[in-house]
Amino acid sequence: MKLRVGTRKSELALNQTYWVVEKLKKYYPDIEIEIHKLTTKGDEILDKTLSKIGGKALFLKEIQNALLAGDIDLAVHSMKDIPTETPSELEICAVTKRLDPRDVLITKDNNSTLDELQLGSFVGTSSLRRASQLKAYRKDLQITPVRGNINTRLEKLQNSDKLDGIVLAKAGLMRADLTDLIAQEIPEDVIVPCVGQGALGIEIKADNDKLREKLSVLNDENSRTAIYSERTFLNQLGGSCHVPVGGLGRLTEKGLELTGVVAELEGSKVLKETLIGSKDYPVDLGQELAYKLISQGAKEILDSVKNKG
C-alpha cells in the first residue's frame, strides 16, 4: 500500500505527521508513504490575528483542495484547527488519542504563574478565547497579539519588552519536546481549552471506504466521542476562532462530561456550564449545553464580538 500524506510545513505539523506515519508503519510494515508539505495562507499571513483574516480554516484550505483534487490520499490536522463545517466530499475518519488539552503559561523567568505576574503584565496570545478568559481572571493583564509557530512565539517572548508571558497549548509543546519551558499548566477552571485541542484529525475523501478501514487503527474512540461533543457545542453556537468560545469533554465514571464557556472580550461577563450525559449521545449533549448557554445570553455576547470584529 502506498499513501500520499498532506501536511503543513510548520515544525509542529511535521512532527504530528511523522508521529502518524510511524503509527501506520507499526500496523502496516510494508506501507510506502510520501509526505507532501503544503503551504497555507494561515502560515503566510503572520501580521494579523486569525479572527480578522478568516479564521483557522486558512490552515486547511490548500490541503483540503489537494485532497479533493486527488493529489494526496489523506491529511493530518490538529483537531482544533478543523472548522465544524467542512466540505461534504471530505470526512474526518479518525481522531487520535488526545494529549493534555490544557493551555499553559510560559514566562520570561520560566517561573511565574498567572497569580504571580506583576500588575499590568503583558501576556501574548491571538486567541479571543484565551484573551477573554485571562481578562476575566485578571483584569489588569495587558493582552498582546502574538502569532507564528511555537519557536517564533518563544523568540518574541524573549526579545520583546512588551511581553512578560505567552499562552500556548500544552499538547504542542509536548510534541515539540519543549515542556521544560512551562511555567504553569493553567487550570481548566481558569481557561477552558479550545475545542479539539490536543488531538489530531485524519481527513480523507468521504467515498474512500477502503482507506477509512485501514486508518481506523489511528482512531481513539474516547477522544473522538469527547471531541465530537465539543464540536457540536461549538457548531450550535455558530462559533469558530472568531469568537471566545471554549469546550472540553471527557469520559468519567458518571458518563460524558462536557464543559463550555462563552465570554465577552474584556472578560466582564463569562457564561460557563458543565453537563453530564451518555457517551452514546455526544451530539445531544453538545446541543443541550449550547442551548443552555444560549438561554443565558451567549448569542448576544457572540453577536457583540462579531460586530466589534
What local confidence, expressed as pLDDT, does residue 53 receive?
Answer: 43
What local confidence, expressed as pLDDT, does residue 67 receive?
Answer: 96
In CATH terms, are 1-96+199-219 and 103-185 the same topology?
A: yes
The predicted-structure confidence for 289-305, as pLDDT tens digits, reads as follows 999 999 999 999 998 88
Once rounded to an integer, what is the mean pLDDT over residues 125-137?
Answer: 96
Q: Quick one: CA dihedral 87, 102, 290, 267, positive or negative? A: negative
Among the options 30, 43, 71, 81, which is catalytic? 81
- Say yes or no to pLDDT of 238 above 80: yes
Once rounded to an integer, what is the mean pLDDT over residues 181-209?
Answer: 97
81 is catalytic: yes
CATH of span 1-96+199-219: 3.40.190.10
* Residues with Cβ within 8 Å of residue 19, at least 6 apart in sequence: 175, 200
The predicted-structure confidence for 256-290, as pLDDT tens digits, reads as follows 999 999 999 999 999 999 999 999 999 999 999 99
What local confidence, expressed as pLDDT, does residue 47 receive?
Answer: 47
The predicted-structure confidence for 2-31, as pLDDT tens digits, reads as follows 999 999 998 999 999 999 999 999 999 999
**Which CATH class name applies to 103-185?**
alpha beta
In this structure, are residues 35 and 63 in contact, taking their beta carbons and an 8 Å threshold? no
User: By 3-state DSSP, what share of the chain in percent is helix, strand and coil, each rounded to 5?
Assistant: 40, 25, 35
- Say yes or no to pLDDT of 50 above 60: no
Q: Which of 67-76, 87-96, 143-152, 237-246 has the lowest mean pLDDT?
A: 237-246
| Helix, strand, or coil (residue 236) | helix
Relative to beta strand 32-38, strand 2-8 is parallel
- Say yes or no to pLDDT of 239 above 70: no
Once rounded to an integer, what is the mean pLDDT over residues 130-143?
Answer: 97
* Residues with Cβ within 8 Å of residue 306, at least 6 apart in sequence: 242, 243
What local confidence, expressed as pLDDT, does residue 240 receive?
Answer: 59
What local confidence, expressed as pLDDT, does residue 46 receive?
Answer: 45
The predicted-structure confidence for 202-220, as pLDDT tens digits, reads as follows 999 999 999 999 999 999 9
CATH of span 220-309: 3.30.160.40
Report field, pTM of the whole predicted structure over 0.85? yes
Domain boundaries, the chain: 1-96+199-219, 103-185, 220-309
